[in-house]
Amino acid sequence: MSTISSILHSGYHHPVQRTWQCQPSLTKTGLIYPIFVSDIDHAKEAISSLPGQYRWGVRRLQELLDPLVAKGLASVMIFGVPTNGNKDAVGTLADHPEGPVIQAIQFLRQKYPDLHVSCDVCLCAYTVHGHCGILHDDGTLNNHQSTARLTEVALNYARAGAHMVAPSDMMDGRIGAIKQGLLDEGFAHRVFLMSYSAKFASAFYGPFREAAQSSPTFGDRKCYQLPPGARGLARRAILRDMQEGADAIMVKPGMPYLDIVRDAKELCPDRPIAIYQVSGEFAMLYHAGEQGVMDLKTSVLESLACFQRAGATVVITYFTPELLDWMEH
């Protein structure tokens, strides 16, 4: 039997009432579209692990972006893919003037004056061994050299015109080092630093590693990315990166880690919290939709609403092109 206090349905019967029950909705400016940029200028290479996504040559980026910008695309995140195999111990191609990332930044800044151009900062796609930093002879990470190199890469992206740099490497102390570098070089007032703070060692990155050709050739990333069950380490990383000067905190992957998003929101109530709906999440939803076991649009919009409920204000997602059609604002 219903009693006065048991009635909830009356509060959300009408669609307008339902919007009153939710936090302010995410709009198109809250979406960041990850794009893979190949070092082959005219490439448009399908990525079998990420249906509908391609490795684009800089000369063809317009084909991808003209229609999306027209629909309200506000922000992209660039991932360089050096397909020619010129990888080395220090990831030279990450920020080579002729490399895909610097070329893409310069092109996008000049072609789309209003587009927010951001870059993932890491070495794994550019090193021979596929790890995210520079290694000691024994195969462990040289945190000191890695941080110096990643800072140099971030500064070169800033120099080329990036509005935001987002280090995904997980070295200790890299946020402070990059922030200091931005300050020393006179970029601190115009370059946003988003930290992949709570980045877990996840199987959900599988499709991405095929896309970016960035799998480690030996071992795994468990000594620098966080153990999936480690809430304490995630909270410490979030607090540390905030203190080191991160302008925003990211949690990654998305759906299985919403409690961490809530932690981030509570630990950093005054900073935007970003969530990365990673390649494996994209693949799961995409294939479920293809198989007819779930409706794609409904499930993607649901995931977005849940990111927002958990506390995220920025969402990095491969579904951005679809969302630009599905969202009204």
Nearer to ligand PBG, 168 or 313 (CB): 168
Is the backbone of residue 91 left (phi > 0), alpha (psi -120 to 50) or beta?
left
Say which DSSP state 55 is in.
E
> How far from each other are the two terminal CA atoms of the chain, in whole angstroms?
42
Tell me how far apart the alpha carbons of residues 316 and 218 are, in angstroms, rounded to a whole number: 28
Smallest distance from ligand PBG to CB 169, Å: 6
Interface with ligand PBG includes 209 (CB under 6 A)? yes
Interface with ligand PBG includes 300 (CB under 6 A)? no
| Distances, alpha carbon 9 to alpha carbons 23, 61, 213, 295, in Å | 18, 48, 49, 25
Q: Which residue's Cβ lies closest to ligand PBG?
A: 208
Spell out the long-range contacts of 265-270 with Cβ–Cβ below 8 A and sequence spacing 24 or more. Answer: 265/310, 265/311, 265/312, 266/311, 267/235, 267/238, 267/239, 267/242, 268/238, 268/242
Interface with ligand PBG includes 205 (CB under 6 A)? yes
Q: How many CA atoms lie within 13 A of 207 on its CB side?
A: 23
Query: Which residues are annotated binding-site positions for 5-aminolevulinate?
Result: 209, 221, 279, 318
- The mark string for 20-59 relative to ligand PBG (x by CB under 6 A, - otherwise) is ----------------------------------------
Tell me how far apart the alpha carbons of residues 267 and 261 are, in angstroms, rounded to a whole number: 10
- Residue 96 binds: one of Zn ion, ligand PBG, none (C-beta under 5 to 8 A by kind): none
28 has catalytic annotation: no
- In the region spanning residues 88 to 147, those forming contacts with ligand PBG, defined by CB under 6 A, are 120, 122, 124, 132
**Site size for ligand PBG (CB under 6 A):** 11
The identity of residue 119, as a single letter, is: C
- In the region spanning residues 127 to 146, those forming contacts with Zn ion, defined by CB under 5 A, are 132
Dihedral of the alpha carbons of 225, 230, 236, 238, in degrees to the nearest 10: 60
- In the region spanning residues 162 to 201, those forming contacts with ligand PBG, defined by CB under 6 A, are 168
179 has catalytic annotation: no
- The mark string for 272-291 relative to ligand PBG (x by CB under 6 A, - otherwise) is ------xx------------
- In the region spanning residues 105 to 124, those forming contacts with Zn ion, defined by CB under 5 A, are 122, 124
Q: Which stretch binds ligand PBG (CB under 6 A): 91-99, 149-157, 175-183, 202-210?
A: 202-210
> Residue 11: CB partners within 8 Å, gap ≥ 6?
17, 21
Query: Which tokens is 300 given?
Result: 């993607």
Active site amino acids: 199, 252
Binding residues (CB under 5 A) for Zn ion: these are: 122, 124, 132
Residues that bind ligand PBG (CB under 6 A): 120, 122, 124, 132, 168, 205, 208-209, 221, 278-279
